[in-house]
């Protein structure tokens, strides 16, 4: 016998084997032994083992109490720890009769398949929950609330539809848990850093904010007092995605003021992450550093389970600044392992892994992860995850000289994002995505284009990406072959590009300067040749990149 820790001991494996043989040869009631073990672990508040042993007894009708304790009283160490237990739990599937005799098990199944992004299996058990809702309600009101949580993340239904179908639960729901049932599970954000991309993608609210008024009286009570800051926090996230950074900073500062010492770490972390993101994007690096220090200190003390995602978050910004060291260090982390399937709660980490592989020139692995993330975002109706994968994919395709694929992928991505007005998820790819955006802008401006994209939107995204790329090196090497050759423009050539950058046409420039249109074209064509480009768009962006002309407003329309 060996001592593991405290009063926990383990028999030698050979002695264990001997005892198992003795037990098998005896007439001992195995079910009773499993129940005895379940009771022991229940008394010692080890609800994972208690549930496991009870289910091993085969008495599924008595599952309710053990499942209740497992779901709502255990696993306070984050979603990853919770999921790791469930992986082992589901390694040996229960017989079909288990869920027939204890329909509450459908709740556990749906939760597990949701966490692990097995969307078809999740859908199967979510439908079973709705069919068996009256029987599940008899197991306890908390299970009804948990079923509501599972329904709320159903990727097949919009928020509007979910609100309309709330009556499905109204007939069996007795009351809401005062503190909010969602705050008693492993994590209501599933340890993801951005609240609008957490347990589900909430982008639909950006199109129809009035949905929040309906959610207030249906699903929001599941969050209890946390909803007071989560509601405006989700809206601030959209302000950030639309690149209205100063407004986002002001709004998010107010949201931070709504959080008190009794609020849960999950939502607080999301608000703190967003504050750092905003400050970093604004170039207020001193304040951003202080925000990061506060975030790291809080996570270390109150939410250590968030540290892997925090490391992924910090590494992301370092990679966007061109740190090869950060890429190597990230891939060396013990929790960064090879995958063939995206698990929902680790999805944010996988985006950092993609960028790390790309930074190190491992395009094969980067593409493999990207295709998985692209499918993950599509299958689970998470437009921002799908579009982040699309933006990176387009940038990577371009560097691989797969330019047609890059253009098509980014156009599809922009078509998804344009109705929301979201910019940052593409712009954060910086200089790597600018050449793809330039080509798309030219295509959208052509007479033959009849698609949904507008020049104004594509231009706004391109300018934001260019601005970001001017300050941050990025993780993809796009060094121009002529970068080492100094470019010198004449005063007239510089003047022409300055005016072009402000949106003036040749006729307007002629009127302003007194120069003939042929003379203007001569100056601009010479500038194009020196810069190694073939269009006004490329000339202006290249001249700005080289510091030959000044920066322009985000509202200009480059023609």
Average confidence (pLDDT) over 530-555:
75
Give the pLDDT of residue 552: 46
pLDDT at position 361 over 80: yes
Measured distance CA(461)–CA(225) in Å, rounded: 37
Give the pLDDT of residue 477: 59
What pLDDT band is residue 550 in, cutting at 50, 70 and 90? confident
Under 8 Å between Cβ of 132 and 106: yes
Average confidence (pLDDT) over 371-391:
98
Please tell me which of 83-97, 277-291, 490-504 the model is most confident about, judged by mean pLDDT: 277-291
Give the pLDDT of residue 28: 83
Average confidence (pLDDT) over 224-234:
97
How far the first Cα of the chain sits from its last, in Å, is: 80
Lowest mean pLDDT among 97-106, 137-146, 216-225, 515-524: 515-524
Average confidence (pLDDT) over 256-284:
97
pLDDT at position 83 over 60: yes
Q: Is 4 helix (H, G, I), strand (E, B) or coil?
A: strand
Under 8 Å between Cβ of 433 and 395: yes
Measured distance CA(181)–CA(178) in Å, rounded: 8
Under 8 Å between Cβ of 207 and 160: no
How remote is the C-alpha of 515 from its chain's centroid?
A: 53
pLDDT at position 231 over 70: yes
Give the pLDDT of residue 75: 62
Average confidence (pLDDT) over 519-532:
84
What pLDDT band is residue 90 in, cutting at 50, 70 and 90? confident
Degrees, nearest 5: CA angle 303-43-302: 10
pLDDT at position 545 over 90: no
Give the pLDDT of residue 287: 98
> Closest by alpha carbon to 201, among 54, 401, 371, 389?
389
Comparison of pLDDT for 554 and 372, the residue scoring more: 372
Under 8 Å between Cβ of 169 and 147: yes
**pLDDT per residue as tens digits for the range 174-208:** 999 998 988 888 789 999 999 999 999 999 999 99
**pLDDT per residue as tens digits for the range 239-254:** 999 999 999 999 999 9
> Closest by alpha carbon to 80, among 193, 192, 196?
192
Q: Residue 403: left if φ>0, alpha if ψ -120 to 50, beta else—which one? A: alpha
Give the pLDDT of residue 539: 86
What pLDDT band is residue 76 in, cutting at 50, 70 and 90? low
Average confidence (pLDDT) over 509-518:
89
DSSP letter for each residue of 158-173 = -HHHHHHTTHHHHTT-
Degrees, nearest 5: CA angle 414-419-421: 75
Task: Please tell me the total number of residues recorded for the chain in this structure.
Answer: 559
3-state helix, strand, coil in the chain (%, to 5): 65, 0, 30
Give the pLDDT of residue 551: 54
Average confidence (pLDDT) over 484-499:
82
Under 8 Å between Cβ of 315 and 356: yes
With the C-alpha atoms ordered 90, 93, 94, 96, is the resulting torsion angle positive or negative? positive
What pLDDT band is residue 485 in, cutting at 50, 70 and 90? low
What pLDDT band is residue 441 in, cutting at 50, 70 and 90? very high
Under 8 Å between Cβ of 493 and 539: no
Helix axes 324-331, 307-320, angle to 10 degrees: 150
**pLDDT per residue as tens digits for the range 398-421:** 999 899 999 999 999 999 999 999
Tell me the C-alpha to C-alpha distance, in Å, between residue 315 and each of 47, 329, 350, 438: 36, 9, 12, 28
Average pLDDT, the chain: 91
Give the pLDDT of residue 166: 95
* Neighbour tally for 8: CB within 10 Å: 7
Give the pLDDT of residue 339: 92
* Neighbour tally for 521: CB within 10 Å: 13
Residues with Cβ within 8 Å of residue 338, at least 6 apart in sequence: none
pLDDT at position 479 over 50: no
* Neighbour tally for 443: CB within 10 Å: 15
For residue 5, what are the β-bridge partners? 8
The percent of residues above 70 in pLDDT, for the chain, comes to: 96
pLDDT at position 268 over 70: yes
pLDDT at position 473 over 60: yes
pTM for the model: 0.82
Q: Which structure tokens are listed for 220?
A: 């929001």
Residues with Cβ within 8 Å of residue 401, at least 6 apart in sequence: none
How remote is the C-alpha of 22 from its chain's centroid?
A: 52
Q: Is 528 helix (H, G, I), strand (E, B) or coil?
A: helix
The 8-class DSSP code of residue 197 comes to B
Measured distance CA(97)–CA(189) in Å, rounded: 33
Lowest mean pLDDT among 77-81, 459-463, 471-475: 77-81
């Amino acid at each position: 016998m060996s001592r593991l820790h405290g009063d926990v001991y383990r028999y030698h494996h050979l002695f264990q084997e001997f005892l198992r043989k003795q037990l098998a040869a005896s007439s001992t009631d195995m079910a009773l032994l499993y129940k005895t073990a379940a009771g022991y672990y229940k008394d010692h508040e080890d609800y994972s083992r208690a549930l496991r042993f009870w289910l091993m007894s085969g008495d599924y009708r008595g599952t309710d109490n053990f499942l209740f304790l497992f779901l709502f009283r255990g696993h306070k160490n984050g979603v990853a720890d919770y999921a790791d237990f469930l992986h082992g739990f589901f390694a040996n599937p229960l017989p079909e009769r288990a869920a027939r005799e204890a329909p509450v098990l459908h709740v556990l199944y749906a939760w597990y398949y949701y966490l692990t992004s097995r969307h078809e299996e999740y859908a199967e058990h979510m439908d079973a929950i709705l069919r068996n809702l009256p029987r599940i309600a008899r197991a306890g009101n908390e299970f009804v609330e948990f079923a509501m949580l599972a329904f709320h993340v159903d990727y097949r239904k919009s928020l509007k539809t979910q609100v309309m179908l709330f009556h499905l639960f109204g007939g069996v729901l007795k009351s809401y848990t005062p503190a909010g049932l969602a705050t008693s599970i492993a994590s209501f954000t599933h340890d993801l850093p951005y609240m609008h991309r957490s347990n589900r993608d909430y982008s639909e609210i950006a199109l129809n904010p009035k949905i929040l008024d309906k959610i207030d009286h249906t699903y929001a009570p599941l969050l209890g007092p946390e909803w007071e800051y989560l509601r405006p926090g989700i809206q601030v996230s959209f302000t950030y995605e639309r690149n209205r950074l100063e407004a986002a900073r002001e709004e998010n500062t107010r949201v931070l003021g709504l959080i008190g010492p009794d609020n849960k770490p999950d939502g607080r972390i999301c608000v703190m992450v967003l504050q750092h993101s905003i400050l970093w994007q604004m170039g207020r690096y001193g304040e951003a550093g202080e925000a990061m220090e506060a975030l790291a200190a809080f996570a270390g003390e109150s939410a250590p389970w968030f540290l892997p995602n925090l490391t992924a978050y910090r590494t992301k910004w370092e990679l966007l600044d061109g740190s090869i060291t950060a890429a190597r260090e990230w891939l060396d982390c013990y929790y960064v392992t090879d995958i063939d399937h995206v698990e929902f709660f680790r999805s944010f980490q996988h985006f950092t892994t993609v960028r790390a592989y790309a930074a190190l020139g491992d395009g094969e692995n980067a593409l493999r992860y990207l295709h998985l993330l692209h499918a993950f975002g599509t299958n689970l109706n998470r437009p921002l995850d799908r579009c982040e994968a699309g933006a990176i994919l387009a940038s990577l395709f371009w560097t691989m000289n797969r330019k047609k694929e890059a253009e098509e992928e980014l156009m599809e991505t922009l078509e998804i994002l344009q109705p929301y007005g979201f910019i940052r998820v593409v712009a954060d790819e910086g200089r790597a995505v600018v050449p793809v955006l330039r080509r798309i802008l030219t295509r959208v401006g052509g007479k033959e284009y009849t698609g949904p994209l507008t020049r104004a939107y594509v231009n706004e995204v391109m300018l934001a990406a260019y601005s970001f790329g001017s300050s941050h090196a990025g993780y993809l090497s796009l060094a121009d072959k002529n970068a080492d050759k100094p470019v010198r423009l004449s005063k007239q050539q510089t003047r022409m590009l300055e005016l072009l950058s402000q949106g003036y046409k040749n006729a307007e420039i002629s009127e302003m300067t007194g120069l003939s249109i042929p003379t203007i074209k001569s100056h601009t064509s010479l500038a194009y040749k020196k810069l190694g480009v073939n269009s006004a768009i490329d000339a202006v962006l290249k001249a700005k990149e080289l510091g030959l002309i000044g920066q322009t407003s985000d509202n200009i329309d480059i023609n």
